[in-house]
Amino acid sequence: MRKILVLVIISLLTATITYAQTGKIAGKVLNEKNEPLSGVSIKIDNHAAGIATDVEGRFLLKLKPGKYTLTLTSVGYDDKTITDVQLDADGLQELNIVMQAKSKELKAVVVSVSAKRETDFALLNMQKNNASISDGISAETIKRSPDKNTGEVLKRVSGTSIQDNKFVVVRGLIDRYNVATINNAMLPSTEPDRRAFSFDIIPSSLIDNIMIYKTANPDLPGDFAGGVVQVSTKDVPSKNFLSLGAGVSYNTISTGKDFNPGYVSQTDYLGFDDGSRKLPANFPSRSKFQGQDFEPRAEYSKLLKNTYGDRYNGNALPNQSYQLSWGKRFELKNSAVLGSILALTYRNSQTLVEGFRSEYDNQFTQVNGAAYNYNDTTYKFTTSIGALLNLSYKKGNTKISFKNLFNRLFENSNLIRRGVQYYSSNASVYAQGGETVVKTLYSTQLEGDHSLKNKSKLTWNVNYALTLRDNPDYKFAPFIKSEADANKNDVPYEVVLRDTYRFFANLEEHAVGGNVNYSRPFNLFGDKASTIKLGVLSQYKFREFSARIFRYNRAPGSNFNEGYLTMPVKYIFQDANMNKDGFALEEVTNTTDKYDANSMLNAGYVMFDNRLNEKFRLVWGLRVENFGFEVNTADFSGLKVKADKNYLDILPSLNLTYSLTSSSNLRFSASRTVSRPEFREIANFSFYDFVRNVQVRGNTKLERSQNTNIDLRYETYPSNGEVISASVFVKHFNKPIEQYVDAGSSSLNMVLSYFNAKYALNYGIEAEIKKRLSFLGKQSWLEDLFIFANAAIIKSNVNVDGLDIAVADKDRPMQGQSPYVINAGLTYAGSNNFSASLLVNRIGQRIEAVGNDPKGIPDIYENGRTIVDFQLSQKVLRKRGEIRLNISDLLNQKSVFYQNYRIDTDKISKRSYKSSEDRVWASSRFGTSLGLSFNYNF
């Protein structure tokens, strides 16, 4: 261990202080299908000696400063000469090169092009020649942007938007319909209760490229309808590097203000709970505790730490972030290479959110049917730590990689609520609630990449993922007094014991999987450019979840000390009050508050990539997925409930591309895909959300949705980085999964659950333009100034005819589907080491939960927000340092959840938000953030 530590220290020092009077030319050689070409011979200035590309099509040359010419040759491809390759001392020149397949005429062809033009062409080629309809962003573009993490990078991809700066939305479809992969392995969800990956945990400097596939291919996962986000991270660096970064940000409604996060433990800044919030190990089991009398329960209640009330005195500090990235390349004997990349990230934020919350029931006549009106202040203390470690070995036609990703998110929130409830004699309410959630993700994979004879290729991947969610001591304590006494300080609030909940839960999920893929070229109609690809995949998941729920009750009889009921929240549940004349915990855990689940996915596919002629390319094939799951829980009587399903899905897909010109395509795609429910949505478990005052319950009868997708797209690439495209698409969902308000709900007891609609139809148009502004004049800086805009207009309808489900609006859009998505921006990244960007994003209103009655609980909508972000970046200190200024959410618009209110008719005449008419269910404002960061490359 000591030798390894010494080696790492020496490597770090070497990467930091070494200065060599040589430079490096690094690159990647691809064919027209964006496939890497191994074994391509590369010679420098016609010298006899040369090198060959490796299994990834990559090469690296170490040369003295100067200008060079490279000559590339490979069997079956036209020779290519790259001129004007300028290399500076200790510099790195990176090239992306595309080789053209030889035409049927056997005459020799030599293509000569400058280094700059060739790199430009390679970037254009990657976008233009993908088999499926897709949009992406390359490492070259990322390098020129000020984005710090993958979440920020994805804002620049057409047809996508980002929620909370980390969750991706494709074509207005919520996370249920999107899937994420990293380095050929499916990413586990960072959110155990939904299928969503937090993309902000991956540093942008370690991304090789990102592709979002909007249409299916047989070699892509079949469980999507919006998009597959494919992230490829770097592994073997072309140049050793060590980078350190730090940043702070100021929030206009949080930073410097009084901050009351409730209880804070000694290790919260490190992203770990110190154990003081957990249910003690010596606390009795559920069966033992529920059988105890009041006095023993009071004694056991002292084992729980009193964490209610104000426990912190200070102001909100600026948000802070730190990042370290290190890369090392080891040249071994026999031309082998060992590469390593390490990244560590740390973030801490302290924010407050001011909000309003209400619910409505038409049996109440006050305030337009409001059951209550609450003003909420939520204080959030968040720590995130992350690590990425990639190790790769390359030799000849073989590459083996070991890739790891770790993230821990610690969130501690404290809610202070004040307001009036109208269903209990117009009582004035004060409440305090605290929640701590610790989420952990660890993903590891071992993968191989092998180039075989006859230009065939074999890749494989084995992977494991661990997901943990610890929810220690989610607590709530409400107090009331009459509305007439609301402003009388001498009249105290009295605790409502039946709602003094304390909730403890643990979730643990393991996923293990693997895949193997084989491809080789073959001859079709005399054209050797056709390829066949075969593959198999398997993934097994296992989850265990358990929760225990308590509330406080008072001592029986006349000896109870009534003065305890009006004590301040900080002291009311202290140990001194846990006695025979005071309080004791009562366990209210149900038999439904525990479940275990497992699933098995086995898949296989065959895919053909055919060049029918020089104009037509057909990529088609079949994917077969066998998926089964089992969820074991119980009903309220204690009887076991088992939900199990097994599906065999045949998923054909076809992508036809017609090359109108060398820079324009007309594409057609048709496919079948599926959307599967998550374990949480199936389990018969009810989670009471004290903040929203709702229960969220699973449905053991949920089934998967089958989706039919058709796309037609025109695209043209006038020059590198420029694109103009227009698409139309239609999607049919058979039995789509939606969240709805259960028919037995009321504003005092709202239950959200899930159901399968009969079917849904989704169709729309999408357009994009990204244009360099050089046409405005001859100034050189206009070459680096881009304007872009993309927008999608989507129409969807859901059919529930014949289902035993009461809904408020039978002619409504899909739950979670926005009617439009708009992205626009202006970016500049010039050779003067200065860059700037202005980004605008808006998603239209969408249904948060399907309502059950227009006169009771109508559909709950989330209103759209316009988000404007501004970024400036300047390289300093001989280009080794970079200063960045970020302004996020410049407009600071409210987030609004609302219900269309029409008490006089069953017909819903509109869905968009109108403040003068609609009922606001909840609203909040997050503030504008101003950030300053500095990054230095040693």
Residue 768 reports pLDDT greater than 50? yes
Q: Which of 31-45, 234-248, 487-501 has the lowest mean pLDDT?
A: 31-45
Rounded to whole angstroms, the Cα distance separating 443 from 516 reads: 19
Dump pLDDT digits (tens) for 175-211. Answer: 778 888 877 777 767 666 667 777 776 777 677 777 8
**If you average pLDDT over every residue of the chain, what do you get?**
85
If you average pLDDT over each of 86-95, 178-187, 407-416, which comes out highest? 407-416
Q: What pLDDT, on a 0 to 100 scale, did the predictor assign at position 80? A: 87
Pairing type for strands 583-587 and 594-611 reads: unpaired
Task: Kindly state the average pLDDT of the residues 395-407.
Answer: 90
Q: Which of 357-371, 511-525, 653-667, 910-924 has the lowest mean pLDDT?
A: 357-371
Q: Write out the two tokens for 938.
A: 């040693």
Q: Write out the two tokens for 81.
A: 């000469």
Is pLDDT larger for residue 881 or for residue 5? 881
90: Cβ–Cβ under 8 A, 6 or more apart, which residues? 19, 20, 21, 22, 23
CATH superfamily entry for domain 21-121: Carboxypeptidase-like, regulatory domain (2.60.40.1120)
Q: Write out the two tokens for 917.
A: 């008419």
Q: Is the dihedral of CA 92, 56, 231, 97 positive or negative?
A: positive
Torsion angle of the four alpha carbons 843, 845, 850, 853, in this order, in degrees rounded to the nearest 10: 180
Task: Kindly state the average pLDDT of the residues 847-852.
Answer: 89
Residue 904 reports pLDDT greater than 70? no
| CA distance to 90, 95, 97, per residue, from 64 (Å) | 9, 17, 22
Q: What pLDDT, on a 0 to 100 scale, did the predictor assign at position 109? A: 62
Dump pLDDT digits (tens) for 825-849. Answer: 898 877 778 889 898 988 889 998 9
Question: Do 889 and 928 form a contact (C-beta atoms < 8 A)?
Answer: yes
Question: Do 498 and 593 form a contact (C-beta atoms < 8 A)?
Answer: no
Residue that is written with structure tokens 């990176």 in the block: 94
Is pLDDT larger for residue 746 or for residue 220? 220
Q: Which of 131-135, 371-375, 447-451, 609-613 has the lowest mean pLDDT?
A: 131-135
Residue 377 reports pLDDT greater than 60? yes
Question: Do 514 and 557 form a contact (C-beta atoms < 8 A)?
Answer: no
144: Cβ–Cβ under 8 A, 6 or more apart, which residues? 829, 835
Q: What pLDDT, on a 0 to 100 scale, did the predictor assign at position 172? A: 74
Residue 15 reports pLDDT greater than 60? no
Q: Does the domain spanning 314-937 belong to CATH 1.10.10.10?
A: no
Task: Kindly state the average pLDDT of the residues 698-708.
Answer: 93
Task: Kindly state the average pLDDT of the residues 615-639.
Answer: 91
Which ranges of 18-97 would DSSP assign to H, the alpha helix? none
The residues spanned by each domain of the chain are 21-121, 314-937
Task: Kindly state the average pLDDT of the residues 875-881.
Answer: 88
Task: Kindly state the average pLDDT of the residues 281-310.
Answer: 91
pLDDT band at 142 (very low <50, low <70, confident <90, very high): low
pLDDT band at 17 (very low <50, low <70, confident <90, very high): very low
Q: Write out the two tokens for 229.
A: 């986000």
Dump pLDDT digits (tens) for 327-343. Answer: 999 988 888 999 999 98
Is pLDDT larger for residue 445 or for residue 186? 445
Q: What percent of the chain has pLDDT over 70?
A: 88
Q: In what order do the strands lie in the sheet containing 58-63?
A: 58-63, 23-30, 92-98
Q: What pLDDT, on a 0 to 100 scale, did the predictor assign at position 144? A: 58
Q: What pLDDT, on a 0 to 100 scale, did the predictor assign at position 487? A: 85
Q: What pLDDT, on a 0 to 100 scale, did the predictor assign at position 3? A: 52
Rounded to whole angstroms, the Cα distance separating 336 from 332 reads: 5
- DSSP output for 375-435: EEEEEEEEEEEEEEEEEEEEETTEEEEEEEEEEEEEEEEEEEEEEEESSSSSEEEEEEEEE
Residue 673 reports pLDDT greater than 90? yes
